[in-house]
């Protein structure tokens, strides 16, 4: 079973739960530090690890008019400010091979978006940085397809890999989360992540933007953690309805401490009674 050491934080399917959390889209240094600080306090109190996430560019918005974000240079400065201020590892998405080396100078974890999870050049460029690579399983892939993705990254000599479930296409504008995928992907030996908020997204469900059912995100998180996973991925915002991206499926920041407490209780039970295939 693979364990990933991330600045002293040990990530693995048999280790204490790590939360990957933050806003969908980076807005400013002050905003990122505010959210990261509150999450850090809640995770410390509950005994959870924390990786702060935030995107500098939302390259796959539903419509041309969707807000893209701060951009590469400004976004990396915001992420660096979180690292400098709070000493937290940070995660962000990459969309192009030429972004990877620059982003890895700041980000501890490079995330491969679900729509790009089979892009060979992107996977190889990300792997070559030596950073931790978190691959979101495409909405169009089965969990048993992920070894092909893994082999592309491993070809660079990088085995610091995490695999994320974020739902599977289920008709139009709808996703379904098959919890069987979590132990199936864990059978690869790599840490598995459950994306609780994107799995309740309704892609393109509002015509010009995506909808979501945020009330079910805690349900997805609790179900996944009860199986025993390395991490749970949650996007959060102090006012989701005013967030520039993915507000309908984000969990309000004020609700996060109680949810983290609950998830850690499920995590302790799951890790004491592991499920293996």
Model confidence pLDDT, tens digit, residues 40-60: 999 999 999 999 999 998 666
pLDDT for 65 equals 56
* Neighbouring residues of 107: CB distance < 8 A, sequence distance ≥ 6: 76, 79, 90, 91, 92, 131
Which structure tokens are listed for 10?
């040990």
Using DSSP, state whether 232 is helix, strand or coil: strand
Residue 91 has pLDDT above 70, yes or no: yes
* Neighbouring residues of 84: CB distance < 8 A, sequence distance ≥ 6: none
pTM check: above 0.85 = yes
Cβ count within 10 A of residue 212: 25
Residue 208 has pLDDT above 80, yes or no: no
Give the DSSP H or E segment for 251.
strand 251-252
Mean pLDDT across the chain: 92
Residue 204 has pLDDT above 70, yes or no: no
* Neighbouring residues of 233: CB distance < 8 A, sequence distance ≥ 6: 20, 21, 53, 164, 166, 193, 194, 195, 196, 197, 198
pLDDT for 222 equals 96
Cβ count within 10 A of residue 141: 17
Q: Pick from 221, 260, 212: which is nearest to 240 by CA?
A: 212
251-252 and 49-53 beta bridge pairing:
unpaired
Report the alpha-carbon distance of residue 121 to residue 112 in Å, rounded: 12
Report the alpha-carbon distance of residue 90 to residue 21 in Å, rounded: 10
Q: Pick from 152, 33, 134: which is nearest to 91 by CA?
A: 134
Q: What is the pLDDT of residues 112-145, one digit of tens each?
A: 999 999 999 999 999 999 999 999 999 999 999 9
User: Number of helices and strands (H, E) in the chain?
Assistant: 8, 15
Mean pLDDT computed over 142-149 = 97
Mean pLDDT computed over 220-242 = 95
Is the distance from CB of 246 to CB of 203 less than 8 angstroms? Answer: no
247 vs 83, more confident = 83
Task: List C-alpha distances in Å: 210 to 114, 203, 237, 255.
Answer: 15, 5, 17, 22
């Amino acid at each position: 079973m693979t364990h990933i050491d991330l600045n002293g934080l040990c990530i693995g399917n048999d280790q204490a739960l790590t939360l990957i959390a933050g806003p969908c889209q980076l807005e400013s240094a002050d905003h990122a530090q505010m959210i990261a600080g509150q999450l850090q306090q809640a995770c410390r109190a509950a005994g959870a690890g924390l990786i702060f996430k935030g995107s500098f560019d939302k390259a796959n918005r539903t419509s041309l008019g969707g807000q893209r974000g701060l951009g590469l240079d400004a976004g990396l400065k915001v992420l660096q400010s979180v690292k400098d201020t709070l000493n937290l590892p940070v995660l962000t998405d990459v969309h192009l091979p030429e972004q990877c080396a620059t982003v890895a100078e700041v980000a501890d974890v490079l995330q491969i978006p679900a729509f790009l999870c089979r892009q060979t050049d992107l996977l190889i460029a990300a792997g070559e940085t030596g950073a931790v690579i978190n691959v979101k399983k495409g909405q169009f892939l089965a969990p048993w397809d992920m070894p092909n993705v893994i082999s592309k990254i491993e070809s660079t000599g990088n085995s610091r890999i995490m695999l994320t479930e974020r739902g599977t296409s289920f008709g139009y504008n709808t996703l379904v989360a098959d919890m069987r995928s979590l132990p199936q992907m864990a059978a690869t030996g790599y840490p598995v992540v459950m994306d609780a908020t994107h799995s309740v997204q309704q892609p393109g469900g509002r015509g010009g933007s995506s909808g979501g059912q945020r009330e079910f995100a805690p349900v997805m998180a609790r179900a996944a953690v009860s199986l025993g996973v390395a991490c749970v991925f949650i996007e959060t915002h102090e006012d989701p309805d005013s967030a520039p991206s993915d507000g309908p499926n984000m969990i309000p920041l004020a609700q996060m401490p109680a949810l983290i407490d609950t998830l850690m209780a499920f995590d302790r039970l799951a890790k004491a009674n592991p499920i293996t295939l």
